A and B are shown apart, each in its own frame.
Chain A
Amino acid sequence: MKSKILHQIFFFSLLIIVSGCLDQANRNATLKLSVDMNSNIKHAVGFSVQYFPGFKLVEVKEPYKDAKESAFYLLQSTPGSIPDSLIEIPVIKIPVAEIVCTSTTHIPFLDLLEVTNTLTGFPSGNYISSPVVRNMIENDKVVELGVDNALNIELLLDLNPELVMGYSLTGNMNLFNQIEYAGIPFVLNAEYLEETPLGRAEWIKFVALFFNKEKKADSIFDRIENKYMETLEAAQNTNFKPTVISGIVYGDFWYMPGGNSWAAKYFKDANADFLWKDNSSEGSIELSFESVYDKAYDVEYWIGAADFRSIKSLISIDPRYSQFEALQNNNVYTYNKRVIKQGGNDFFEQGIARPDIVLQDLVKILHPEILSGYELYFYRKLDP
């Protein structure tokens, strides 16, 4: 009798927690109510997890840009243990043995956790750089599911994976509603909305939840974090703060990363003086060529010149580039060292999970005296 009451109290409190969570008006209350069992999430702000006997309750706080409601997922490891009050929340049986991912940015997490062999399908697999997955594609172990923005639903149903890990940029749920209707569980991975490179990389802990690999994820992330902070501190301790620009001209516009963009954050951590750091945009900003030239003609480094391979080809497209000092001094770099012949670029794939390498690359370029012996991984210097 006593234990029954205890149970009731337990479920009742759970009900409060969950109904609080589901009520978007009480979003602030949610944060208070959800006991943060996973206090080792240090940088990522987009997800949280609570552990219960037999299942984990995962919250993705902003499943897509400007989402008003959180998405909840119930990750069940032993059958039959779900309380009625959580019945509305989609259930995902874990550990997942067959997964379909829709973004190349999910792949490095699988690779690092050594669960890549669970990947059974992917749209536009040509863009994947991971050698493990490339090998699986060549051996027909990964099914090509059509193009990215229009997943082939019939092929997906035929494949019948245990989980689809997707993403939504706009909150358009048509595709996911179809997947859900077909009885295939899906989860929205919103790693791209994190505001810091380390926060984004920390989503390895999110992916790990589906494979019961939390411990592994923790130790991998700790290593990445340590290396990142170590490199950052070394860079900040130098007195030299070189000026940097980025981006390239398309049509009439110079597409410059905004002052709050990923590139700007990396430049700051690498102790560089990014000339558009005071801008407030998170994406790229469209500037006139002449305004960029006026402000940056004597810039020391130009880092991120799309996928150009040589200064010669840059100048052949627009001779006006040659007016920049960075170009005259051969100080132009871009992130295309690891582009595969099918067209994919590992910088946009592995680079998401390995901010430590990206930062080391930038520090090596901007403060070469610090990382002697280090060889650039994602970035390369443009040929003359």
Chain B
Amino acid sequence: MFTGEASLTRSKLKVRLFLLFPLLVLILFLLNISLGSVHIPLSDLINITLGGQGDKSTWVNIVWQFRIPKALTAVLAGFGLALSGLQMQTLFRNPLAGPFVLGITSGASLGVATLVMAGSLIGGLINYSGVSSWLLVLAASGGAFFVFSLVMLVSTKIKDSMTLLVAGLMFGSATGAIVGIMQFFASAEQLQLYLIWTFGSLGGLTWEELKVFSIVIIVGLALVITLMKPRNALLLGEEYAQSMGIPIKKSRIFIIISTSLLAGSITAFCGPIAFVGIAVPHLTRLMINTSDHKILLPAVGLTGAALLLICDTIAQLPGSQYILPINAVTSLVGAPVIIWIILKRKNISKSFAG
């Protein structure tokens, strides 16, 4: 690690990381806001992004009220989900772990399902179009927090991360069953509203919501950064980490908290975005062969942002007035990526230094 050759690769990596990756994200961001259902010529687009006017007055609104908030949401969500995935894969040393193994999505879906489907049971207070976006966010975070607390309770009792993984999956199944019961009794409109939520959505955030969303994501990211050292140690095994003087239990809890904050808030604002969390860490490792989190961390985050921007651009079906659900696109892109990696590497557990 301290040989000249290694440090050379590392500096090369750094150049790639700190120049190429942000550049890529920037280009994809611009591509994303320049493509959509409505065709806006590039010159007008540049004008508008620089604060000017377009040929048509509606274009200013389309760019500033629709496309830029959506692209920013994609960057934040992609960044956050990818890092959550990386943290979970490191904690569990399992290539198939993602941000949602702790039952966070199922918790959030439980909250949303309760709001939109059991609303009429609770007393007819909530009709489906009266579900404001803030209420939806609250319900999703509430549900996610509920399941997360249960997982935390279990995690303080057990020493082994694998047991925690199983517990998270079990909580997920249980909440899924409750949602299933609610779906069974729901009316067609309620069911539809819930299904739409599960499609995921990047375009629903207004500037106001985006402010709150970015604050939560930044807090989550800050937590993730402070956990750099324990994660690097954890990669080599819990016992090794302990021998390095890393407080395993405490680190584990903080990793869980930061992941829940990221994945929970993203699910609350954008719905359950599939696959980015699992696929991106693998994709990144394929591009830059390192398991050092100092490098991996920003790389994974930026790749996540880039991937979600690409997926969203595809989902917009540029030029047509129709769009695809973001989740369908992320899964369609994500699944081949994983298969490709497995075929190429034969064995992805190598990436975990274990």
Contact = CB atoms under 8 A, between A and B. Distances in A.
Interface stretch (B103-111, B163-171, B318-326): B318-326
Contacts of A290: 36-38, 62, 66-67
A294 B127 contact: no
Interface in A245-280: 248-253
Main secondary structure of the interface of A (DSSP, over half): mixed
Contacts of A295: 321
B145 to A, nearest CB: 23
Interface in A113-166: 124, 127, 147-150
Interface string A234-252: 0000000000000011111
Interface in A26-63: none
Contact of B128 (A307, A313, A316, A323): A307
A253 B322 CA distance: 9
Contacts, number: 101
A166 to B, nearest CB: 16
A286 B67 contact: no
A251 B322 contact: no
Contacts of B325: 251-252
Given A285-B322, A287-B321, A341-B124, A147 B271 contact: no
Give chain B's interface residue range (CB within 8 Å of chain A): 35 or more
Contact of A289 (B120, B197, B203): B203
Contact of A318 (B36, B61, B133, B185): B133
B58 A293 contact: yes
Contacts of A323: 58, 61, 65
B130 interface: yes
23 contacts: A251-B200, A251-B204, A251-B325, A252-B199, A252-B204, A252-B326, A287-B323, A288-B37, A288-B203, A288-B321, A288-B323, A289-B66, A291-B37, A291-B321, A293-B66, A307-B130, A308-B129, A317-B132, A318-B204, A318-B206, A319-B206, A341-B124, A343-B124
In order of increasing CB-CB distance, the 6 nearest A-B pairs are A291-B37, A291-B321, A306-B129, A251-B196, A251-B201, A294-B38
Interface of A: 124, 127, 147-150, 248-253, 285-295, 297, 305-308, 313, 316-320, 323, 341-343
Given A290-B62, A291-B37, 5 more contacts: A147-B184, A250-B192, A287-B323, A307-B127, A323-B58
